[in-house]
């Protein structure tokens, strides 16, 4: 039975033997995977540059460029670095297996292929890739939200610096316009401060001194406007 979850995965088979490609392709397509193939390392490198794949099945023994070399070149391509690569090999020599892991493979499958083993390894590494992709996406979304939050916080801090509001009733002298300090006794002169001083202490306002026309006429009549 084809599972819907497998339909989103694309797998690239790299093998110079058509019979191997046919066997692997049939096994994977029956499970609903989208399968592509390349018959040489050079062809695989060209394909990987134009199409994204979720997993690569890579034969070790190929002419001109073996699987080890192809794998190393894959891992130099940024878009392929996180793509899992499973080696296909008839060689079970321990040194070859270790070399495969050293150049970037995540697993290997021995020839002749056992369908159950092949599918189990494919499913495992595709699920791991999907989990990594989800974590990466979540991280990207979180980083974006953190950036937005930081920008909003900066805007808020800037607004708070520019605007500092006064609330409630302010006791102000009807004559001299001095304001009584909050909580200070009414009958002590030091409790009363100039309006300008109070505003400077309780807001972010900056004052620049000038003189209104009425005061100009009273204090400096010779410089006052004629009208």
| Reported pTM | 0.62
Architecture of the domain whose range is 4-139: 3-Layer(aba) Sandwich (3.40)
- 113-167: per-residue pLDDT in tens? 899 999 999 999 999 988 988 888 888 888 888 898 888 888 888 777 666 666 6
If we measure between CA atoms, which residue out of 29, 190, 47, 209 comes closest to residue 119?
Answer: 29
Residue 87: its H or E element: strand 85-89
| C-alpha to C-alpha distance for 187 and 160, rounded to whole angstroms | 34
pLDDT of residue 162: 63
Average pLDDT over residues 82-93: 86
| C-alpha to C-alpha distance for 144 and 222, rounded to whole angstroms | 64
Q: Where are the domains of the chain?
A: 4-139, 179-223
Q: What is the Rg, in whole angstroms, of the alpha carbon atoms belonging to the chain?
A: 38
């Amino acid at each position: 039975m084809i599972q819907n979850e497998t339909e989103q995965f694309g797998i690239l088979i790299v093998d110079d033997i058509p019979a191997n490609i046919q066997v692997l392709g049939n096994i994977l397509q029956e499970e609903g995977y989208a399968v592509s193939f390349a018959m040489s390392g050079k062809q695989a490198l060209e394909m990987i540059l134009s199409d994204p794949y979720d997993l690569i099945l890579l034969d070790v023994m190929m002419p001109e460029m073996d699987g080890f070399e192809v794998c190393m070149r894959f891992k130099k391509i940024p878009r392929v670095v996180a793509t899992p690569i499973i080696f296909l090999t008839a060689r079970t020599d321990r040194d070859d297996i270790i070399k495969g892991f050293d150049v970037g493979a995540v697993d290997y499958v021995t020839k002749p292929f056992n369908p159950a083993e092949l599918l189990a390894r494919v499913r495992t590494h595709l699920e791991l890739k999907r989990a990594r992709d989800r974590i990466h996406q979540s991280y990207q979304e979180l980083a974006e939200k953190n950036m937005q939050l930081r920008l909003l916080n900066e805007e808020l801090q800037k607004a708070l610096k520019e605007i500092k509001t006064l609330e409630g009733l302010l006791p102000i002298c009807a004559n001299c316009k001095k304001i009584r300090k909050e909580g200070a006794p009414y009958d002590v002169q030091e409790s009363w401060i100039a309006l300008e001083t109070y505003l400077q202490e309780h807001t972010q306002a900056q004052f620049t001194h000038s003189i209104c026309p009425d005061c100009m006429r009273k204090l400096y009549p010779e410089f006052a406007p004629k009208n």
